[in-house]
Amino acid sequence: MTKGRTVVATFVLLALATLPLIVPVEAQQFSDRAKNIGSQLKCMCGSCSMTAAGCSHPGGEFSGPCPTAKGMLQQVDQHAAKGETDEQIVQAFVQEYGTTVYAEPPKSGFSLVAWVMPTVYLVFGALVVIFVISRWVRKNGSEPAGHAATAKAISPELLERAKRLAERETED
Amino acid sequence: MDVFGSFALLLAFVCAVYAVVGGIAAIITRHPLLVKSTRQAGVATCGLIFLATFSLEYLFFTDNFSVSYVVSHSNRDLPTFYKIAALWSGMEGSLLFWSFLLAIYVLSVLIAYRNKNGELMPYVGVVMAGVQLFFLTLNNFVESPFKALAAPGAGGVMSFITRADGNGLNPLLQYPEMVIHPPNLYSGYTGFTIPFAFALGALLARYPGEKWIHLTRKWTMIAWMFQSAGILLGAHWAYAVLGWGGYWGWDPVENASLLPWLTGTAFLHSVMMQEKRGMMKVWNVWLVFCTFLLCMLGTFLTRSGVVSSVHAFAQSNIGPWFVAFMGITLAVCLGAYLKNRDYLASENQLDSVISRESSFLFNNLLFLVACIAVLSGTLFPVFSEWFTGNRISVGAPYFNRVNIPVGLLILFLTGVGPLLAWRKTSRESLKRNFGWPLLTGLAVGAVAFIFGFRAFYSLTSLILCVFVAATILLEFYRGAKVIRARSGASFAACAIDLTMRNTRRYGGYIIHIGMVFVFLGLAGAAFNRDVQKSMQVGESMQIGPYTLVLQTTDTKPEKNYTAQRLLVEVLHGNQPMMMMFPEKRQFLTNKENGTMVAIYSTLKEDLYVVFAGTDPDSQLPVIHAFLNPLVKWIWFGGVTVVFGTLIALLPNRRSVLVLAPAREPSPVEPLPHGVTASAILREGHD
């Protein structure tokens, strides 16, 4: 085995040795339906901006779901007991509290904008970057390739400046 | 002392007005005495702000309850440590604290460059003084921290009064990190004023070359370091104090601190394009402008009440002032750009699509997309109300979904970017630099998958973390090997030597390693678990491999609060392991509650135990226990990032270059049209 391969093998082994540190021992626990739906709803106590399922109500007498969040989760259970679907349960809360009850914008109507825009930014930005890069590359490629003529015309000053520029470009 | 403080602030305002007006006159007339006097007015402004800040602290330390701000944010039994933090716990004091930190930066700049850059400094001085003037206007006329306490007396006439004791400090702020988190974050916000002042000053003065970039690099890195540390300290505070088991909730105030960090990070990368290749000059100037404006926007969002936030302790009606200031700043920046945009002509040329330059462009794109996505998400409730009449909330689930993919792409570029060559990267170089790291990452990912690490984003993050760490370690290894071949010293010594020879490059790598740790910690969040239970004494609960047994409860009266404490024995398997003491505190003056979470933290996971309160039905104490994998790596990453930045700020031990002796970077004129440095060197040496 060459020296380089020994180093790489050591490297891989070291990386694998760190795995016991980072692999969780058990699989993730699944939450119940109320908790699931509660994570889509904002706690409406007015003092926190957490979800009904994740409310810890900092600064309150009780750290954990505050009475409002608990009430909302109980309501979810009551709706579920009537056989309502998840969507129907969420809509029941929207009717009671308005659209502010959503923990995240619904994927319909005006709220769709919130979901679509980040992808638009990314795609549009990527197109701009690709356009800019190709223009810069093309600009360079379209220059006259008069190397021989340039070489003859190089003065000591120009060579010195080129060295400085190369130094600057290769420093990091 | 309150009168003294008010007077100092007023005088500071007058000096700042002179520094701005006189500074503009000095630029026009170029009269040396005027230049000198405005510089001295700038120094005086800073000195007076220091005096005003110390006066307010003095009022806190002497329990002067005739001052409204002191009454609202302190009390006699408040520990001295927290009387320092009381300074920035409310609107008025935090704005004064802002002026104070800005004054430290401004004074440092004025002293550091007192005899240098004579053409540029008057412009920089005016911009800095202009920003100071805005905050001093708020300090003096809008949110004065020295207002005397007044109450209606006999006949309804208002009269000054002194209270026997104050209302006390918000319990959430009575935690050691609250003494260091805001100063760090504010140092970041205020610090970005300096690169902004240099960028705008250089544009206005048409200052030649890239010198303003070299001058501001240190200041930008210092501001960025403080901003990074401030954000992570805030996250740690939220984790340790709020008792919800998380560290980042995408609250508008948290988002506000992230926005300038994102553009500032983009700037720190793209600035290299200008330094090395003379490219992206317009982009860099606008990145600095945007970073500064986002600092102001963040402050506006935090304090105006435009978006609802849990950080409601610092809100008032100063929104219009910030809007006006941001409007004026934007107009000045735009005007300066339109007038002098020819000054920013760039030398944009590339030899290949696969090059360091391209990676920087994509890096900037991703940071910008993340910034705009966070900003638009934060403001979406306002937009939705404007357009539809209904306020639609945007919470943590949305931000996670939108930003995690972008974050992972940035992580990928963290590994790829630095090892691509400027101008053009060959296929061989790609194979040499990325082949083994990529295989290592995939191998670790496969093993992790087998062991149950199967959440998609977390697994991707893990693979990328290993890939990036491998590329960086390989880079250190190769460099150290060369030095070792010559010196024969140990690998560790050679790696240190290598780092100190080119602190900027290897400091940057250390920062990247820190970010890898942060991403690794974030990846663990997908596997968080929690259990909540009402517990009788002697009863136990199980979470992961741990068994928690409630041994007893006690009440501990302290000077400023009463702590109700649970004594919880922790068993690992069946073996006793340790005692944990989660607390619930009730503060005596304001009857508010605070939580002290008990955390047992290892590199693998955190056992996080909260005394949630008393069950209203059974009257039993409720324990909320969390098992959060890998969280410690986030804090470890934060420390590494700060360490890396400090390394990058150090001067190189000695030059590593052989082409020419080290010298002050000087403005370099573009080479003749179509001729590259490498081409000339190649031709010249033939």
Residue ranges and CATH numbers for the domains of chain A are: 33-104 (1.10.8), 111-170 (no CATH)
Comparing CB atoms, the residue among A99, A137, A158 nearest residue B391 is A99
In eight-state DSSP terms, residue B612 is E
Q: Which chain A residue is nearest to residue B591, measuring alpha carbons?
A: A61
Q: What is the SS3 assignment for B132? A: helix
Residue B418 has pLDDT above 70, yes or no: yes
**Which pLDDT tens digit goes with each residue over B220-255?**
999 999 999 999 999 998 898 888 888 998 888 889
Report how far residue B52's alpha carbon sits from residue B58's, in angstroms, rounded to the nearest whole number.
10
Q: Identify the sign of the CA torsion B124, B128, B129, B131.
A: positive
Q: What local confidence, expressed as pLDDT, does residue B316 receive?
A: 67
Tell me the average pLDDT of chain B.
Answer: 86
Q: Find, among B638, B430, B606, the residue nearest to B529 by Cα.
A: B606
Cβ neighbours of B603 in A, within 8 Å: 21
**Which pLDDT tens digit goes with each residue over B575-632?**
899 999 999 888 877 677 788 899 999 999 999 999 988 887 788 888 989 999 999 9
Higher pLDDT, A77 or B263: B263
Going by pLDDT thresholds of 50, 70 and 90, the confidence category of residue B318 is confident
Q: What local confidence, expressed as pLDDT, does residue B464 receive?
A: 95
Residue A29 has pLDDT above 60, yes or no: no
Report how far residue B684's alpha carbon sits from residue B140's, in angstroms, rounded to the nearest whole number.
65
Q: Find, among B468, B431, B515, B495, the residue nearest to B261 by Cα.
A: B515
Report how far residue B567's alpha carbon sits from residue B418's, in angstroms, rounded to the nearest whole number.
51
Run of H or E residues at B95? helix B91-112
Comparing CB atoms, the residue among B357, B372, B452 nearest residue A24 is B452
Check B683 against A40: CB less than 8 A apart.
Answer: no
Residue B386 has pLDDT above 90, yes or no: no
Q: Are B339 and A87 in contact (CB under 8 A)?
A: no
Q: Are strands B546-557 and B621-629 parallel, antiparallel or unpaired?
A: unpaired
* d(CA B381, nearest CA chain A) in Å: 9
Check B520 against A22: CB less than 8 A apart.
Answer: yes
Q: Are B667 and A168 in contact (CB under 8 A)?
A: no
Pick from A49, A134, A155 the residue to mutate for testing the B interface (most B CBs within 10 Å).
Answer: A49
Q: Are B102 and B130 in contact (CB under 8 A)?
A: no
pTM of the predicted model, to two decimals?
A: 0.85
SS3 content of chain B, % helix, strand, coil (to 5): 65, 10, 25
Residue A142 has pLDDT above 80, yes or no: no
Q: Which chain A residue is nearest to residue B365, measuring alpha carbons?
A: A125
**Which pLDDT tens digit goes with each residue over B534-547?**
899 999 999 999 99
Check A165 against B677: CB less than 8 A apart.
Answer: yes
Comparing CB atoms, the residue among A27, A133, A159 nearest residue B353 is A133
**Which pLDDT tens digit goes with each residue over B123-139?**
999 999 999 999 999 99
Q: Which residue has the tokens 């911009």?
A: B127
Q: Find, among B543, B531, B604, the residue nearest to B572 by Cα.
A: B543
**Which pLDDT tens digit goes with each residue over A57-77?**
665 666 666 778 888 888 888
Six-digit token string for B155:
């006949």
Q: Are B554 and B565 in contact (CB under 8 A)?
A: yes
Comparing CB atoms, the residue among A49, A118, A169 nearest residue B277 is A169
Q: What local confidence, expressed as pLDDT, does residue B10 receive?
A: 95
Please report the beta strands in B275-431, taking only residues with DSSP state E, as ranges in sequence order.
none
SS3 content of chain A, % helix, strand, coil (to 5): 65, 0, 35
Amino acid at site B39: R
H helices then E strands: how many in chain A?
8, 0
Average pLDDT over residues B509-528: 94
- With pLDDT > 90 as the criterion, what percentage of chain B qualifies? 52
Which runs of consecutive H residues, i.e. helices, occur in B451-557? Answer: 456-487, 491-501, 503-523
Q: Are B590 and B174 in contact (CB under 8 A)?
A: no
Comparing CB atoms, the residue among B351, B357, B368 nearest residue A125 is B368
Q: What is the SS3 assignment for B537? A: coil
Check A102 against B392: CB less than 8 A apart.
Answer: yes
Least confident range from B32-46, B281-295, B661-675: namely B661-675
* Contacts for A111 with CB less than 8 Å, ≥ 6 apart: A102, A105, B384, B392
**Which pLDDT tens digit goes with each residue over B31-52?**
889 999 999 999 999 999 999 9
Q: What local confidence, expressed as pLDDT, does residue B488 receive?
A: 84
Other CB atoms within a 10 A radius of the CB of residue B78 amount to 23
Q: What is the SS3 assignment for B35? A: helix
Report how far residue A16's alpha carbon sits from residue B659's, in angstroms, rounded to the nearest whole number.
42
Six-digit token string for A103:
């923990």
Going by pLDDT thresholds of 50, 70 and 90, the confidence category of residue B3 is confident
Q: Are B391 and B384 in contact (CB under 8 A)?
A: yes
Report how far residue B219's alpha carbon sits from residue B232's, in angstroms, rounded to the nearest whole number.
20
Rounded to 10°, the helix B176-191/B281-304 angle is 140
Report how far residue B364's alpha carbon sits from residue B280's, in angstroms, rounded to the nearest whole number.
11
Going by pLDDT thresholds of 50, 70 and 90, the confidence category of residue B61 is very high
Amino acid at site B677: A
Give chain B's length.
686
**Which pLDDT tens digit goes with each residue over B358-383?**
888 899 999 999 999 999 998 888 88
Q: Are B103 and B49 in contact (CB under 8 A)?
A: yes
Report how far residue B294's alpha carbon sits from residue B258's, in angstroms, rounded to the nearest whole number.
9
Check B276 against A51: CB less than 8 A apart.
Answer: no
Within 13 Å of residue B485, how many CA atoms lie on the same side as its CB?
A: 5
Q: Are A19 and B448 in contact (CB under 8 A)?
A: yes
Q: Find, among B629, B665, B645, B658, the residue nearest to B188 by Cα.
A: B645
Report how far residue B25's alpha carbon sits from residue B41's, in angstroms, rounded to the nearest whole number.
14
Check B249 against A50: CB less than 8 A apart.
Answer: yes
Check A58 against B614: CB less than 8 A apart.
Answer: no
Other CB atoms within a 10 A radius of the CB of residue B493 amount to 14
Six-digit token string for B585:
């505190």
